[in-house]
């Protein structure tokens, strides 16, 4: 169990909330300079447990534990986005953490490091010398004095004013808080980042010299890929990015693409489902989708549309998230899904508590194949048929077959297991999301 927040941490969060109430919102269009990268960028994503010699079930169990914490953080940000009077304000906490690492480099000469990829927050940051409070990382901590392309951002910088909270001293100083009381603070700076073979100058990032919390130890910082002005996608100005996630137990990396490289693969373009990206003014960084219903087997469940609707106070709704492993559905919708699978799967229901999952079935030891009901998510304008590997896991050691969907309250999440071997394209100019089946290790 995590220790209770210290008095200092509570005071910091109070100061953050107070400052946010006075800050105007900032749209991407106000930021002016963007780094246009017409040729596109490709980098590889690595699962955080890569090389750990875990079974598929063990990988899933570790991810579920992290996912439950992340779900609580995501819900907390949405709840805190509205004050007691119902007025919308920007939330002082962010999601943080994630399931994938991206390899990149910073500075001139470039210093390589692995950062957590997070589609639920915006700030790009890494640990910097001289550290007053830094956690251990596997790569050298970045030393700004060794880079010829490093410069501090002035307090008048649009990226500084876009921060949820900042202070002005020798430059723009920031404090960025996450939902589990983890924080990063330091100075906002500009630097050259190297993504694969592509160098991009003047990326605004947090040079963190005081980083506290347990959520960052997987990487040497974090790359925010949300919809806000501080995120990498907003700063690149490419307007489009995509990823294609290999299976959780695959040894191959997953491609992350920006700009012109992010176009849907021509071989599957005609099969792509296209659905609108929904804006939540209370949580502008999250990628919301309109989930209208779900089919299990041949049965359309008839879930009331209000179940997954985005509420006026910013709560509810469904987000698509690369940092949460399994899908979490609002209670009323989940109960219908669970009931349908239990009645249509021709296997006895079993106790799956040891797996960390809610609905499991016992598979006979002499059974070579198992038939499972088909699962279709009906998003607005797009029906997404999922392959069985994306929503069921079979473990030979326990003889269990389990559903990779669980119950939530206050927010629903379309997780990364359900996105395996699907090309997912985020088009921020057209405000749509495209999804098509593809073999990700061949992209």
The residues assigned a catalytic role are 118, 321
| Structure tokens given for 290 | 């309109």
Sequence-separated (6 or more) residues with CB below 8 Å from residue 213: 96, 178, 180, 181, 182, 183
DSSP state of 260: G
| Structure tokens given for 344 | 């249509």
| Structure tokens given for 56 | 């598929």
How, if at all, do strands 318-320 and 412-414 pair?
parallel
User: Which residues in 305-346 belong to E strands, given as ranges?
Assistant: 318-320, 327-330
- Give the chain's length: 443
Sequence-separated (6 or more) residues with CB below 8 Å from residue 419: 245, 320, 322, 390, 435
Helix (H, G, I), strand (E, B) or coil at 417: helix
In the 3-class helix/strand/coil scheme, how is 227-247 assigned residue by residue? Answer: CCCCCHHHHHCCCEEEEEECC
**Which residue, among 245, 212, 225, has the nearest Cα to 120 in the 3D structure?**
225
Query: CA–CA distance from 284 to each of 123, 229, 231, 240, 279 (Å)?
Result: 13, 10, 12, 17, 6
* Phi, psi angle pair for 366, to nearest 5°: -95, 10
| Structure tokens given for 367 | 């059974």
**CA distance linking residue 351 with residue 358, whole number of Å:** 8
**CA distance linking residue 19 with residue 6, whole number of Å:** 20
């Amino acid at each position: 169990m995590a220790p209770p927040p210290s008095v200092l941490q509570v005071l910091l969060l109070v100061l953050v909330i107070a400052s946010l109430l006075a800050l105007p919102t900032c749209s991407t269009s106000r930021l002016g300079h963007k780094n246009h990268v017409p040729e596109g960028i490709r980098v590889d994503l690595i699962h955080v447990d890569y090389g750990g010699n875990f079974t598929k079930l063990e990988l899933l169990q570790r991810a579920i534990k992290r996912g439950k914490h992340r779900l609580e953080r995501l819900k907390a940000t949405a709840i805190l986005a509205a004050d007691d009077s119902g007025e919308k304000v920007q939330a002082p906490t962010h999601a943080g953490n994630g399931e994938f690492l991206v390899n990149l480099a910073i500075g001139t000469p470039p210093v390589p490091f692995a950062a957590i990829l997070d589609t639920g927050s915006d700030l790009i940051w890494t640990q910097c010398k001289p550290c007053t409070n830094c956690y251990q990382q596997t790569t050298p901590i970045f030393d700004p004095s060794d880079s010829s392309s490093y410069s501090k951002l002035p307090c008048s910088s649009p990226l500084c004013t876009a921060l949820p909270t900042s202070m002005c001293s020798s430059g723009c100083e920031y404090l960025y808080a996450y939902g589990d009381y983890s924080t990063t603070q330091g100075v906002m700076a500009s630097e050259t980042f190297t993504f694969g073979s592509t160098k991009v100058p003047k990326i605004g990032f947090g040079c963190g010299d005081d980083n506290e919390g347990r959520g960052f130890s997987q990487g040497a910082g974090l790359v925010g890929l949300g919809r806000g002005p501080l995120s990498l996608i907003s700063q690149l100005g490419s307007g489009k990015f995509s990823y294609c996630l290999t299976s959780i137990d695959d040894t191959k990396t997953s491609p992350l693409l920006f700009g012109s490289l992010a176009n849907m693969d021509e071989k599957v373009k005609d099969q792509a489902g296209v659905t609108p990206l929904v804006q939540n003014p209370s949580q502008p960084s999250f990628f919301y989708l309109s989930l209208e219903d779900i089919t299990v087997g041949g049965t359309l469940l008839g879930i009331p549309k209000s179940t997954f609707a985005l509420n006026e106070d910013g709560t509810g709704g469904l987000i698509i998230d690369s940092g949460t492993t399994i899908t979490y559905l609002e209670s009323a919708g989940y109960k219908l899904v669970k009931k349908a699978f239990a009645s249509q799967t021709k296997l006895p229901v079993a106790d799956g508590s040891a797996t960390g999952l809610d609905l499991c079935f016992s598979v006979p030891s002499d059974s070579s194949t198992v038939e499972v009901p088909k699962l279709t998510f009906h998003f607005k304008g797009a029906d997404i048929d999922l392959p069985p590997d994306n929503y069921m896991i079979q473990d030979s050691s326990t003889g269990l077959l389990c559903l990779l969907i669980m119950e939530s309250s206050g927010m629903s999440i379309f997780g990364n297991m359900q996105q395996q071997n699907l090309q997912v394209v985020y088009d921020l100019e057209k405000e749509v999301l495209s999804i098509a089946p593809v073999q990700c290790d061949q992209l």
